[in-house]
Amino acid sequence: MYLNRESPIGVFDSGIGGLSVLRHVRTLLPNESLLYFADSGFAPYGEKPEAVIVERTVSIAAFLLTQNIKALVVACNTATAAAIAGLRSRYPDLPVVGVEPGLKPAAALTRSCTIGVLATANTLASEKFLKLQAQVAQDSGVNFLLQACNGLAHQIEKGELSSRETRQLVTQYVAPLVIQQADTLVLGCTHYPFVEPLIREAAGPNVRIVDTGEPVARQLRRVLEQHDLLRDASRTGQLLAYTTGSSSTLSLAFSKLLQLEATVHAVSSAQMTH
């Protein structure tokens, strides 16, 4: 596999959630061109069978490789948990960066030693997550309260960032964690930073919130450095996006959530067969 320094970086998610990672990548690596892929036609992933997520992830990676990417960011906790190991063995030469819930940073922050983890049901049930949880719990002695937030990514995907229904869901998931003394909440799904104001409102002023968007961008920079794939500082990064859902919805998400203009193309299943 020939990787070109001038090529773009692929960033993908089940939908618009990965934009919460992309914004940090843009800030940290302004010279890099980015290809964002939203699998909104198949979102949410959070309650789908693992085999479906693996299949979607492999097709998306193959599609992005036809667009000549030099690295891939799996900006989705659910897809990382289900499919990153398979992706790495399929494309051993491609730098692949995943996201996982920030349990370690949360363990360093908590005073009550009780941490709430908000994520999809699939992420919380995955072997990868359970292993991480056991390791961090053993190393730090903290207690994790796992909360699957069924339906929340779907609300965000619909653009309902502050509707009554979304607020109700957030309260239903967050309030019991605070009652059980959680003083730190981990956003274990890349969609959730877009409802952080609601999460803060439900959690109260003393609860800290951990998001991994920025550490993922830093990890990406490290990996590109190691592979000598960082673009020259004189270059200007371009932004292009693909979606299996509606292109106007994704354009709107870019401008509403990130205040960015992106050229968005709709991708059909026929263009994605691998």
The catalytic residues are: 76, 189
* Residue 257 in the binding site for ligand DGL (CB under 6 A): no
Q: Which of 17, 102, 213, 245 binds ligand DGL (CB under 6 A)?
A: 17
Handedness of CA 159, 161, 163, 167 (dihedral sign): positive
C-beta nearest to ligand DGL: residue: 46
Three-class SS state of 108:
helix
- Give yes or no for a contact between 34 and 240, defined as CB atoms under 8 angstroms apart: yes
Q: Which of 8, 10, 46, 116 binds ligand DGL (CB under 6 A)?
A: 46
Give ∠ CA 263-267-270 in degrees, rounded to 5.
155
Question: Under rule CB under 6 A, which residues in 155-214 are in contact with ligand DGL?
Answer: 189-191
Write down the least CB distance from residue 47 to ligand DGL, Å.
7
* Residue 24 in the binding site for ligand DGL (CB under 6 A): no
* Residue 147 in the binding site for ligand DGL (CB under 6 A): no
Phi, psi of 181 (to 5 degrees): 80, 15
* Residue 11 in the binding site for ligand DGL (CB under 6 A): no
- Of 45 and 173, CB closest to ligand DGL: 45
* Residue 26 in the binding site for ligand DGL (CB under 6 A): no
- Give yes or no for a contact between 114 and 143, defined as CB atoms under 8 angstroms apart: yes
Tokens linked to 198:
């609601």
* Residue 243 in the binding site for ligand DGL (CB under 6 A): no
Distance CA 87, CA 66 (A): 15
Listed residue (116, 168, 171, 169) closest to 144, CA to CA? 116
- Of 170 and 229, CB closest to ligand DGL: 170
- Residues forming contacts to ligand DGL in the complex (CB under 6 A) are 13-15, 17, 43-46, 76-78, 120, 123, 153, 189-191
